Chain A
Amino acid sequence: MVEDRNVSARPVLEAPDIARVLTRIAHEIVERAKGADDVVLLGIPTRGVFLARRLADKLAGITGRQTPVGSLDITMYRDDLRLKPARALERTEIPGDGIDGRLVVLVDDVLFSGRTIRAALDALGDIGRPRAVQLAVLVDRGHRELPIRADYVGKNLPTSLRETVKVQLAENDGRDAVLLGARDE
């Protein structure tokens, strides 16, 4: 579906690379969160949710405990709602014990302008009061428009604004890859 649209796209991460960086991020979370006892992983739909679940599996392999994982739809907190037709909502699923007093790690596929994360922070504030919030992304492609940075980065990918970064995940796209392409317009 996606690759048809952008034939010129070049893979910068393949499936084994993605598996490796997620393992690394999982270890970093355990290390920085001192055992990750109170971590809650919240993926940002669509692909952030799949990444969050994969990270939860990796964390379970390291700590032997199940890490709560959920999803956080930021659609209704976006700052560009009036630039496009109204969008269908994605699922928000907060784990049963909530987020109050926990370390919430937001998980997303690509960090770009930072506006998605700004919206996610607003959404979190309406749901509860975490002890701290951290951010894990598969790819950081730069070009921030807000004072936001990631705590865990799979790959820093310097890009130009004319390039596109497309993440594909098996759960959604049939295969794992990060593709760098020219904007097809």
Chain B
Amino acid sequence: MKRHLISAADLTRDDALLVLDTAEEMARVADRPIKKLPTLRGRTVVNLFFEDSTRTRISFEAAAKRLSADVINFSAKGSSVSKGESLKDTALTLEAMGADAVVIRHHASGAPHRLATSGWIGGSVVNAGDGTHEHPTQALLDAFTMRRHLAGAPDGGPTFHRGPGDGTGRDLEGRRITIVGDVLHSRVARSNVALLGTLGAHVTLVAPPTLLPIGVESWPCEVSYDLDAVLAKSDAVMMLRVQSERMNAAFFPTEREYARRYGLDGARMAALPEHAIVMHPGPMNRGMEITAEVADSGRCTVVEQVANGVSVRMAVLYLLLGGNEPAVATATPRTEETKQA
């Protein structure tokens, strides 16, 4: 792996599998009486959040704490940042505090990239969502969730909702993933398109044309304006949240029309293959992109995704900080480790 995790597109297939396999081990820690590992004792992880996101922040916080890292939460709201302190000065402050990793959420696309390449800090930078660019750990937890359900059975196939399986060592070759909604403004969609493609899945984006970026035809995925046409061919459907501020910007006429054309309801869920799962990065707009019936069904993995988020973020923090340099992914990570002499 590189020293930073800025973009899902930076991950090779081996990198991605290393993260997912490591996350699988981390997930087991959650089942133990003591959900804590001493691995990152003495390391400092700073959660630098320029945007409110309690869910992502506590997920990273839980991940870092389970690895025994010291966690400093730096929320830009109500701090010197809101009084005009620059990203650079904030970064220099964190550097002076000895941050080994900075987990950054920022409203500006590219801010984590800038932080990682500017020379302002020496630690690792983990992108926890930047503007409308990327959210790589979300894509990793989504892929982890998909792998457990769609490649988790002993034969490498889907588990047919008999609980998540163990997909260790497997990718998502040939799985058909449909991502529905506001792709234009979605960092989740961008990261997922990159990562799922790396893992061998076929991605289809479904959205009204107003919510697709110019140039989307050059992305490694299919594009459709018709949700019903792709449901029967989907192993997983990921519903994206529709932000309320889009409602009044002429991206679509009304919420009702959006829900009718692009929302997932019981009838549409019934059109999915039997083994298919329904995903959502949360928080959900019930009644908008997803109905309560679907959200509460056994096929919806939204709660599981939250739990998997902690495991995946533990894996990322461990692989970046668990040695004197980030882990090196090899095609066969599980052999020829000589134990400490």
Seen from chain A, the residues whose Cβ lies within 8 Å of a Cβ on chain B are 1, 44-46, 73, 76-78, 80-92, 108, 110, 112-113, 115-116, 119, 122, 125-128, 172
Contact = CB atoms under 8 A, between A and B. Distances in A.
Contact of A76 (B320, B322, B339): B322
A122 B325 contact: no
- Interface residue SS majority, chain B: loop
A150 B305 CA distance: 44
B38 A77 contact: yes
B340 A82 contact: no
Given A112-B341, A115-B340, A76 B38 contact: yes
Contact of A82 (B22, B36, B323, B336): B323
B318 interface: yes
Interface residues of B, number: 33
A116 B334 contact: no
A179 to B, nearest CB: 13
B33 A85 contact: no
A82 B325 CA distance: 8
Nearest to B318: A86
B32 interface: yes
Nearest to B339: A116
B32 A88 contact: no
A64 B323 CA distance: 45
A157 to B, nearest CB: 14
Interface string B260-280: 000000000000000000000
Contacts of B18: 88
B32 to A, nearest CB: 6
A88 B25 CA distance: 10
B285 interface: no
A82 B334 CA distance: 20
Given A82-B323, A88-B18, A89-B318, 8 more contacts: A46-B337, A80-B340, A81-B323, A85-B324, A86-B326, A90-B337, A116-B339, A125-B34
Contacts of B341: 112-113
Residue picked from A1, A82, A116, most chain B C-beta under 10 Å: A82
B325 A85 contact: yes
A88 B36 contact: no
B299 to A, nearest CB: 28
A97 B128 CA distance: 39
B37 interface: yes
A26 B215 CA distance: 67
A46 B332 CA distance: 13
B340 A87 contact: no
B32 A76 contact: no
